[in-house]
Amino acid sequence: MHRVLGDRRAVLILLGPALLVYSLIMLVPTLWSLGYSFTKGNTIDGFTGNGLDNFHRLFTDPDVRHALWFTAKYAVTVTVGQVVAGYLLALLYVFFLKKASALIRTLVFFPVVLPTVAVGLLFKNLFQVGPQTGPVNSLLNAVGIESIDFFGSSGHAFWVLIVMDIWRSMGFYAVLLFAGLVDIPDEVLESARLDGASGLRLIRHIVLPMSFPVLMSSLIFSINGTLKAFDSIIALTNGGPGNSTSPLTLYMFQTSFTYSDYGYGSTIALLLTVVCLMVTLVVFRASRRDLTKD
Amino acid sequence: MNTDSSAARRARLAGLTASTAVLALFTAACGGTGGGSTSAPKNFSYLTVNENATVKTALGTLSKGACADENKALPLKVESVPQTGLDQKLQLLAGQNALPVQFAAGNAPALTDKLYKSGKIADLEKELDKLGVLDQIQPGAISTIKALYGGKMEVLPYEYNIEGIFYNKKIFAKDGITEPGTWAELTAAAAKLETKGVQPFSASGQQGWPLTRLISGYLYRSLGPDALQAVKDGKAKLTDPPYVKAAQEIADLGKKGYFGKGVGSIDYDTAINQFLTGKAAMFYMGSWALTNIADKKANTVGADNIGFMPFPAVSGGKGSIDQYPSNVGLGITLGKNIDAKTGDWVTCIAKNYGSTALKDQGSISGFKTNSEVKDANAVAGKVRRTISDSQQNVLWFEALFSTKATTVSQTNAASLVNGTMSPQQFMQTVQDALKSE
C-alpha cells in the first residue's frame, strides 16, 4: 500500500479522474458564480462589471435580512426537531422494540422516499381550509374551534412547514442514529447497568457520549440540508404568503431566474455558502468537547 | 527511489491544474453558446406554455387546413414548458441565440421588452406591413400591444381579451339583484348575497392577479385611465391616499368574507369551477373564460344563465365604465430573422387565425375574422360586441410594473384580502419593489 501511495504517478491515475470531475462540477461553477457576483446583467442583456455594488446591496437589502432570518429560524427548528425525533425513535428501536423494530423502522422511513411534491400536496390537503375543509380543520371544528387558514398567515404556514419537514425526514435520522446506537458494545451497557446506571442516567452518561460522533454527523447533515431547503418550501407554500416563508435559496432563485439578476443572485448564493461553512465550523468546534467529562 | 526534482513536480502540478482549468472553461464556454444559429429554420418551431392550449390547437388546425402548403414547406413543431419555467427557458435560449421561430415571450411585458431591445425579436408592425397583412390585425389590439410594450408591436394578438365581471343571472334574479352600475351597488349586492348564504365572489388568491385586477379596476374608475401610468412615470406613488383607498376597498371585500374561506389557497381552476357550478355569484375575469363557459361539462350553471358587466363606476370618479381593461393574453412573438417560408406562415396565420380560433374554441383574437362565425352563446356575443364597440382600453394592475414588482404584488394579494397585511402595507411593499429595480 505504501508503495502504491508513494508513487505519484499511481496517485495521479487514481485521483486524477475524480479530481477532474470534482473540479468541473463543483469548483468551476463555484468560482464562476463568485465571478458573477461582481457583475450585473443577464444572458439577454449581457454582463457588465459593477465592482462591489452587489455586496453593498446584500447588506442593505431588507429582503435578504428577512430571508436570512427565516433560513436561520427554519434550519434551527427543523434540525432540532428532526434530530431529537430521530434520536428518540432510535432509542425506541434499540432499547424497547429491539428485534421487533424492523416494521416500525420501515414505516417511519417511508416518507423519506416519497417525492417532496407529493408530501407537499398531502400536507396542503391536510391543513387546507378552502375550497374544502381539510382533516385538521375538521378536527378543530369537531372540538368547537373555528377553522384556521393555515396558509394565510406566516406564523401558521411556518409551523405546518416545520411539522411536514420533521415528519418527512425523521425516519432517515432515526436509521442513521440507530446505526450509531447498535454499535455501542453490549458489555459496556451491561457494566453500566451493574454499576447502577439505568434509564435517563444510562442514556446521559453512556449512550449519549458513545453515540456522540454519529449524533454530530446527523447535526451537520441536518443543518446543512435545512439551510439549503428549497423543494419542500416550494411544494408547500411557494415562499408565501407574500415572502414570509422564503428562505435564502428561494430568494436567490427568484432573483436570478425570475428577476433576471444573475449577478445579485450569485452574491446571495455566496452568502448562503459562507453561512453553511460557518455553521459547519461552529458545529465541528462544539463537537470537540468531551461529553464523558462533567 | 523517487528521482523527480521538486521544481519538476511543481511544474507538472501547475500544468495539470492549468489544463483542468482550461478544459473546464472551454466546457463551460461551449455550454453558453451552443445552439446559436442564424441559418434558415428547418421547422416552424413554436415554444409555448402547457397552460395555454388555445393557440397550439388552432395552429395545429391551420397546419392541416388553410396553412397546409406553408406547413409542408416549413412543418409546425410545438414545444411546451410549464408557465413558471418559461422565463428561465427564454433567457437560456436567448443567451445561446437558440430561440425558436415563434415563442411565448415571457410572463411579464418587461422581459419581452428586454428581448426586443437586445434585438432578439422582430418589430412586428414593420414585418406584417412588409408582408401586406397588417390590416388583418384589429386596431384595438394593436393599440393595446403598443400600450403594453413601450409603443412597439412586439407580440401577435393570438388572444384579445377584455375583462369584466361575469355573474350568475339566476342567483341575481332569485335575490332580486339587478346588474350593479356603481361600486356602492356592487358592494350592496355582495352584502345581500352574503346574508342569503351565497358566496358573492370567486377568486384565486393563489394566483393573486384576479385580486389585484380589482384594485386596478377601482383605480381606473376613481382616478381615470392614467392612474397607473402616473405611477410608472413617477408622478404618483402607490402609497398616495387615493391608491391606498383602492386597496382598502378590495381588502374590505375580503374582510367581510365575500371571497369565501381560504382564498389564498384557491387556484385558478378551483375559482372558475366555483363560479361555473353555482357556488359563487360573481367572477372577475377576462374574456378567455368564455371557453370554459361554453364547456357544457364544466359549466353546470348553463351559458344562458351567465351575464357579463363592466367593472362598475366609482361615484365622483374620473373613469368611465366604457373603458375596459384589455390584454392580448400571453405575448407570442417572432424571432428577429423572418425568412420567406416563415413569412408565408405568418401571412396565412394573419388571414385565417381569427375565424379558426373563434369557430373551434370560441376564443377571441386580435386577428380579423374573415369568415362568418356564429357565437357559441349569448354571453360570448355580448363580449364580442363589447370588444368591437370599446373605444378606450386600460391595462391591468401590474402591466407597467417590473418583474419583481409583479411577483411581489401577486404573491401578497391574498394577504391583503385575508387581513394579514394592511392596504397601506400592501401598497408600500409593491412600491418598494418598484423602486428596487
pLDDT digits (tens, 9 = 90+) for B122-139: 999 999 999 999 999 988
Contacts of B92 in chain A (CB under 8 A): 43
| Mean pLDDT value across residues A165-185 | 94
Per-residue pLDDT at B33: 35
Per-residue pLDDT at B12: 57
Q: What is the pLDDT of residues A197-232, one digit of tens each?
A: 778 888 888 899 999 889 988 998 899 899 999 999
How many whole angstroms separate alpha carbon B105 and alpha carbon B115?
8
User: B418 and A152: CB-CB below 8 Å?
Assistant: yes
Answer yes or no: is pLDDT of B31 > 50: no
A12–chain B Cβ distance below 8 A for any pair: yes
How does residue B371 score in pLDDT terms, banded at 50, 70 and 90? confident
**Closest CA in chain A for residue B95:** A43
Phi, then psi, of B326 in degrees rounded to 5 = -135, 160
The H-assigned helical ranges of B123-260 are 124-131, 139-148, 169-174, 183-195, 209-223, 227-232, 241-255
Q: Of residues B388 and B294, which shows the higher confidence score?
A: B294
Give chain B's end-to-end CA distance (angstroms, integer).
65
Q: What is the pLDDT of residues A55-79, one digit of tens each?
A: 999 999 999 999 999 999 999 999 9
Per-residue pLDDT at A44: 83
User: B261 and A130: CB-CB below 8 Å?
Assistant: yes
3-class DSSP state for residue B62? helix
pTM (predicted TM-score): 0.83
The H-assigned helical ranges of B196-333 are 209-223, 227-232, 241-255, 268-276, 290-294
User: A260 and B111: CB-CB below 8 Å?
Assistant: yes
Contacts of B402 in chain A (CB under 8 A): 259
Reference B410, options B212, B274, B159; nearest CA is B212
| Mean pLDDT value across residues A7-36 | 91
Answer yes or no: is pLDDT of B17 > 90: no
Q: Are B189 and B177 in contact (CB under 8 A)?
A: yes
Contacts of B421 in chain A (CB under 8 A): 242
How many whole angstroms separate alpha carbon B279 and alpha carbon B273?
8
Phi, then psi, of A196 in degrees rounded to 5 = 100, 5
Please name every residue paired with B324 in a beta bridge, in sequence order, or none if there are none. Answer: B393
How many whole angstroms separate alpha carbon A165 and alpha carbon A222?
11
| Mean pLDDT value across residues B225-249 | 96
A131–chain B Cβ distance below 8 A for any pair: yes
Q: What is the pLDDT of residues B249-278, one digit of tens each?
A: 999 999 999 999 889 989 899 999 999 999
Q: Of residues A159 and B29, which shows the higher confidence score?
A: A159
Q: What is the pLDDT of residues A88-132, one digit of tens each?
A: 999 999 988 887 888 999 999 999 999 999 999 999 999 999 888
Distance from CA of A72 to the nearest CA of B (A): 22
A151–chain B Cβ distance below 8 A for any pair: yes
**Closest CA in chain B for residue A7:** B2
**Closest CA in chain B for residue A147:** B261
| Mean pLDDT value across residues B70-94 | 90
Answer yes or no: is pLDDT of B289 > 80: yes
User: B262 and A124: CB-CB below 8 Å?
Assistant: no
Mean pLDDT, chain B, whole residue set: 88
User: B16 and A42: CB-CB below 8 Å?
Assistant: no
Which of A153, A257, A258 lies closest to B420 in CB terms? A153
Per-residue pLDDT at B5: 53
Superfamily of domain B163-326+397-435: Periplasmic binding protein-like II (3.40.190.10)
The three cell numbers of residue A236 are 408547500
Per-residue pLDDT at A89: 96
Per-residue pLDDT at A164: 97
Mean pLDDT, chain A, whole residue set: 90
- Each domain of chain B, given as residue ranges in start order, spans 20-160+328-369, 163-326+397-435
**Contacts made by residues B26-31, CB under 8 angstroms, sequence distance 24+:** B27/A24, B28/A28, B28/A29, B28/A32
Per-residue pLDDT at B27: 42
Distance from CA of B267 to the nearest CA of A (A): 9
How does residue B293 score in pLDDT terms, banded at 50, 70 and 90? very high
User: A43 and B429: CB-CB below 8 Å?
Assistant: no
User: A239 and B411: CB-CB below 8 Å?
Assistant: yes
A138–chain B Cβ distance below 8 A for any pair: no
Q: Are B417 and B248 in contact (CB under 8 A)?
A: no
Which of A150-164, B175-189, B252-266, B327-341 is the least confident region? B327-341
How many whole angstroms separate alpha carbon B145 and alpha carbon B160?
10
Which of B20, B263, B407 lies closest to A130 in CB terms? B263
Contacts of B412 in chain A (CB under 8 A): 241-242
A45–chain B Cβ distance below 8 A for any pair: yes
User: B411 and A130: CB-CB below 8 Å?
Assistant: no
User: A32 and B411: CB-CB below 8 Å?
Assistant: no
Answer yes or no: is pLDDT of B370 > 70: yes
Answer yes or no: is pLDDT of B34 > 50: no
Per-residue pLDDT at B28: 40
The three cell numbers of residue A274 are 459562507
Q: Is the fold of B20-160+328-369 the same as that of B163-326+397-435?
A: yes
Reference A250, options A120, A38, A63; nearest CA is A63
User: What's the fold here for domain B20-160+328-369?
Assistant: D-Maltodextrin-Binding Protein; domain 2 (3.40.190)
Per-residue pLDDT at B7: 55
Which of A8, A128, A241 lies closest to B415 in CB terms? A241
Q: What is the pLDDT of residues A229-285, one digit of tens each?
A: 999 999 999 998 989 999 999 999 999 988 889 999 999 999 999 998 898 888 878
Q: Of residues B375 and A169, which shows the higher confidence score?
A: A169
Contacts of A42 in chain B (CB under 8 A): 91, 95
Q: Of residues B7 and B425, which shows the higher confidence score?
A: B425
User: B118 and A42: CB-CB below 8 Å?
Assistant: no
